[in-house]
Amino acid sequence: MPESGEKNVQKGRPRIKISLRAFRALCEAGLPDDAVAEALNVSRPTVVRLRQEHSISPNRRRGERGPGRARTQKTYYEETKRVLGNPKVARTLGDAAREFRKSGGDEVKSFIATGLDPAPVPVFLPGPYTSDPEKTNITTVKYVLKAEERAQQAAVAGVPGPAVFQLARVIKTASESVVRRLAAKAVSEAFFVGLHQTVDAVCSWVEKLKLNLEDLFEKSRERWGEVKEKALAWAPVKEEKKPLFRFRAPSDNRVRTGKVGSGGGRQNVEARRAFAAANGY
């Protein structure tokens, strides 16, 4: 033993310093080892070793699995569909969307937070001829806008925010407060995403570009509203298409003269039905 009194042990790499208070708080919140490791920016074996040193039992039993972490190279829409296939995740997100709507949140956002599939690809039949552009009226512009909107809806989907992937990883073991917080965050960050966008691309928007997903939803709606206003302002003819004739639906309870019966009286459907009803038929 050297004069300093320390044991002559082999010098290895320095041990990483972890806040024990933060570590215990994450474990008590019910997070599994991989989620704790990601929150503390350390490896999973380090978390397991520290947990065993302080006799902290794991939050997830051996062999117990959840939806798992998101596959970053898959499309965002595909991964959210897979995660929402878990009944517990879908139920929790639905409850959070209901609370978001009751608290005054946007109804459309609460609806797409639970997953909105893309619209079917529209097939538009060409018209018999091309009308004069100088005679385009408001009715034609609205028809074109509706067609473009349907075509755009076929390429996008409504999805919850990235917090849904964190929710899926801790849904089985985390405390109720953590689950509610992650679900509320996923609902508030719901947005429309292209079917080709990957999970890695969306996460890079948030981390590198500091994109606020809560504002992205409103900006997408405002942008489409501006397109509609510009198109309606462009229309050369500022009036709706006038109908050639006005069809009036016949009333169901009309009484006409009817036809002459064999006894000389007048017969009609309304009188026969009223007579049958009076007799209990």
Report whether 224 contacts 149 (CB < 8 A). Answer: yes
Nearest residue to 188 via CA among 105, 257, 250: 105
Nearest residue to 72 via CA among 236, 199, 241, 225: 199
Distance CA 77, CA 225 (A): 25
**CA 146 to each of CA 143, 197, 202, 243: distance values in angstroms, whole numbers, following the listed order:** 5, 25, 28, 20
Q: Any idea where the domains of the chain sit in the sequence? A: 16-64
Distance CA 230, CA 113 (A): 30
- pLDDT tens per residue across all 281 residues of the chain: 445 444 445 565 667 777 778 878 877 777 777 777 777 788 878 878 888 777 777 766 655 566 667 788 889 999 999 999 888 899 999 999 999 999 988 888 899 888 888 988 888 777 676 778 888 889 888 988 888 888 888 888 989 988 898 888 888 777 888 889 989 999 998 888 889 989 888 888 877 666 777 777 777 778 888 888 898 899 888 888 877 766 666 555 555 556 666 766 666 777 778 778 888 77
Cross-strand pairs, 192 = 158
Distinct helix (H) and strand (E) counts, the chain: 12, 4
DSSP codes, 48-63: HHHHHHTTPPPSS-TT
How far from chain centre, in Å, is Cα 245? 44
